Amino acid sequence: MAKTMIEEAREGRVTDEVKLIVRREGVDVNKLIRRIATGRVIIIRSIKEPDKVAGVGLGLTTKININIGTSSEVLNLAMELEKVKVANKWGDTLMDLSTGGDLDEIRGAVIRESRIPVGTVPVYQAFIDAFKRRGGGTYFTEDDLFNTIERHLKDGVSFMTLHAAITRDLALKALRSNRVIPIVSRGGDMMIGWMLHNNAENPLYARWDYVLELFKEYDAVISIGDALRPGATATVMMSYILPS
């Protein structure tokens, strides 16, 4: 198995991806290597196309991530690919959040047209595929979810949002709380629905070691989804009738 970026950095090797980040960012190569080796910088890259890279972390410029994606209401691949062109010009990374149409075809087209690293949220596809095939989004299996993740990795996805930190216990506490919107995240909502329907722990949390093995094999980056982020504030309005 090929070595990962962090393994290469810990051996002091200056890879082509590191050289590219050094040229783009104007940083000292030795500092960059040390920061990658210690986890203070990551390089998001595509294993299929090594020139698609973005450096994130200490001492590097702030990055712009651009979200695109189809929906069940608006399904126009040509329009999404126009957005990719805009992302290529102005963005550093790109997230395909598509939920409508042939998701494999859309993802493939986006990756081909993108000149920057592409990310996805694989639980969207696992949920939608289960709804289409089995009549319910929560009917996907653990294997369905992990197979979807690996398919995205094989396609050349560079990073993924995985809602691995939301456990069944936390989900129940959130749902029983006085939060105005208990669950804000769409992917988090899908994972919580799966946990409640199957009376089981979040497989991304329970099998985290396996998740890491998969991502190490493809040297991809994990963005841990924030399922319980704030999404609304409540304002109590009180009116008084003053005596005449």
DSSP code of 113?
Answer: H
For residues 198, 203, 205, 211, the Cα torsion angle rounded to the nearest 10 degrees is -170
Mean pLDDT across the stretch 212-221?
95
Parallel/antiparallel/unpaired status of strands 65-68 and 53-57: unpaired
Q: Would you say residue 151 lies in a domain?
A: yes
pLDDT of residue 47: 79
> Which residue is it, tokens 């939920």?
99
| Same domain assignment for residues 99 and 216 | yes
Instruction: Say if residue 242's pLDDT is above 80.
Output: no
pLDDT at 233 exceeding the cut of 70: no
Same domain for 198 and 94: yes
Number of CB atoms found within 10 A of residue 213's CB: 10
158 and 114 in a common domain: yes
110 inside domain: yes
Supply the CATH number for residue 117's domain: 3.20.20.540
Same-domain status, 138 and 210: yes
Q: Looking at the structure, do residues 42 and 69 belong to the same domain, yes or no?
A: no
Tell me which residue has tokens 């989900």: 171
43 bridge partner residues: 55
Residue 237 falls inside a structural domain: no
Over residues 90-106, the mean pLDDT reads 97
Mean pLDDT of the chain: 93
Closest-CA residue to 186 (of 233, 231, 139): 231
Asked whether residue 190 falls in the same domain as residue 217, the answer is yes
Same domain, 86 and 197: yes
Phi and psi, residue 134, nearest 5°: -125, 0
Domain extent at residue 195: 64-224
Q: Which pLDDT belongs to residue 243?
A: 60
**SS3 assignment for 68-110:** ECCCCCCCCHHHHHHHHHHHHHHCCEEEECCCCCCHHHHHHHH
Residue 244 has a pLDDT of 54
Note whether 59 and 78 are same-domain residues.
no
Does pLDDT of 235 surpass 90? no
Can you tell me the distance from the alpha carbon of 7 to that of 18, in angstroms, rounded to the nearest whole number? 13
Interval 121-129 mean pLDDT:
98
Mean pLDDT (whole number) for 97-118 = 97
Backbone angles phi, psi at 62, to 5 degrees: -65, 135
pLDDT tier for residue 108 given thresholds of 50, 70 and 90:
very high
Does the residue 145 lie in any domain?
A: yes
What domain count does the chain have?
Answer: 2
Higher pLDDT, 203 or 181: 203
Percentage with pLDDT > 90 across the chain = 84
pLDDT tens-digit series, residues 133-149: 999 999 999 999 999 99
Specify whether 125 is located in the same domain as 167.
yes
Higher pLDDT, 86 or 177: 86
Residue 68 forms beta bridges with which residues? Answer: 96
